[in-house]
């Protein structure tokens, strides 16, 4: 799976939890998940669990702590997929 495909799947997973649709419309790898997309921190748990389900990977909390932007999430998933 290439980076573009991962990026598109990440956006699809995030979409139901995004409160700032304007930021979503212009989303890039640099978009901040909490500050820009306004995803609630509790819903971020649901997002991470969906990442695990969809990509069939395991993500621990230390990994999650390093994810601030959409690009961080894509890079993390890419590294887990090997």
Partner 1 sequence: MLGNDIVDLADPETRSGGQHPRFDERVFAQSERAVLARNSDPTRMRWILWAVKESAYKALRRMRPGTVFSPPRFVVDLDPQLDGTVTVGNEYCRAHVEIDGACVHAIATVDSTRAWTLWGSQRISHPSIRSSRDNAAVDGNASQRARELALEQIASRLEINRSELDIERSGRIPHLLHRGARTTATLSLAHHGSHVGFACRFPIPSVDVRDERIKREPLEGTTH
> Nearest CA to 23 among 7, 12, 35?
35
Report the residue number, 4 or 41, with the smaller CB distance to partner 1: 41
Q: Can you list the alpha helix ranges (DSSP code H) found in the chain? A: 3-14, 21-25, 41-55, 61-65, 70-81
49 binds partner 1 (CB under 8 A): yes
Among 1, 3, 12, 20, interactor with partner 1 by CB under 8 A: 20
Among 12, 45, 79, 81, interactor with partner 1 by CB under 8 A: 45
Least distance from C-beta 26 to partner 1, angstroms? 11
Instruction: By CB under 8 A, name the binding residues for partner 1.
Output: 19-25, 38, 40-43, 45-46, 48-50, 60-62, 64-65
């Amino acid at each position: 799976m290439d980076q573009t495909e991962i990026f598109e799947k990440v956006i699809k997973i995030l979409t139901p939890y995004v409160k700032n649709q304007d930021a979503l419309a212009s989303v890039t790898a640099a978009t901040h998940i909490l500050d820009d997309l306004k995803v609630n921190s509790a819903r971020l748990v649901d997002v991470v669990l969906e990442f695990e389900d969809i990509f069939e990977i395991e993500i621990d909390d230390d990994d999650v702590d390093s994810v601030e932007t959409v690009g961080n999430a894509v890079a993390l998933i890419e590294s887990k997929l090997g």
